[in-house]
Structure 1
């Protein structure tokens, strides 16, 4: 039963992460869609950024390829509290940086602020 709950939470997180970047949400918000490979981002990066994941937040070749297509500032503007309940934003920053993309200190992503001295 506990494994079923964990699978449901993981599935819900992937769904929320996917919905976050769909054009339907943009219609509701009245905003343009963020550019990037959202399907790749979800399928390739999800294991590295979920809360409770034991994988090191270093991403993979597929995850980095998807991240490199993403408009990071745009995506950060669309991170909701719901997403933050299942996605560890500190891990997100580490994964993005491990892919060679700088994330400046003080940058806001949802309610998360990249702390000083984090590399």
Structure 2
């Protein structure tokens, strides 16, 4: 029998995959920002969920994140995305993986603060 934590993580991953598919189903983000939303979700979802503490991302998450065009992806962050994903945690993950974020850049309703 699976533990409650394992079941919750699986359910959260499934919800994020469904939301990612629904929100980005027209492939605008994947095509225009040259990224793989499924890879991003599978490797990084646990680090950017609304719930839970901020924690450093894994190397596999950073391997995906370092190839992202964050300003491009931020153009597609909607209120629906922000209901599931913490944009503040996304920025923490991006910086933790070595990306430089421009202070004042807007990502959904979040504005990147100075370092």
**TM-score above 0.5, yes or no:** yes
Q: Where do 5+ consecutive residues of structure 2 fail to align?
A: none
Q: Where do 5+ consecutive residues of structure 1 fail to align?
A: 27-31
CA RMSD of aligned residues (A): 2.7
Alignment of 1:17 with 2:1, yes or no, is no
Distance (whole Å) between structure 2 residues aligned to residue 13 and residue 6 of structure 1:
10
| TM-score normalised according to structure 1 size | 0.75
Shift of 1:15: 2.1
**Corresponding position of 1:52:** 51
Shift of 1:5: 8.6
Alignment of 1:72 with 2:70, yes or no, is yes
Shift of 1:115: 2.1
Distance 1:51 1:19, change over 3 A: same
Q: Report the count of equivalent residues.
A: 110
Distance (whole Å) between structure 2 residues aligned to residue 19 and residue 79 of structure 1:
13
Task: Find the partner of 1:86 among 81, 84, 87.
Answer: 84
Q: Secondary structure at the residue paired with 1:70?
A: coil
Q: Are 1:50 and 1:88, in contact at CA under 8 Å, matched by a contact in 2?
A: yes
Distance (whole Å) between structure 1 residues aligned to residue 36 and residue 73 of structure 2:
12
Shift of 1:7: 6.2
| TM-score normalised according to structure 2 size | 0.78
**Corresponding position of 1:29:** none
Q: Are 1:106 and 1:113, in contact at CA under 8 Å, matched by a contact in 2?
A: yes
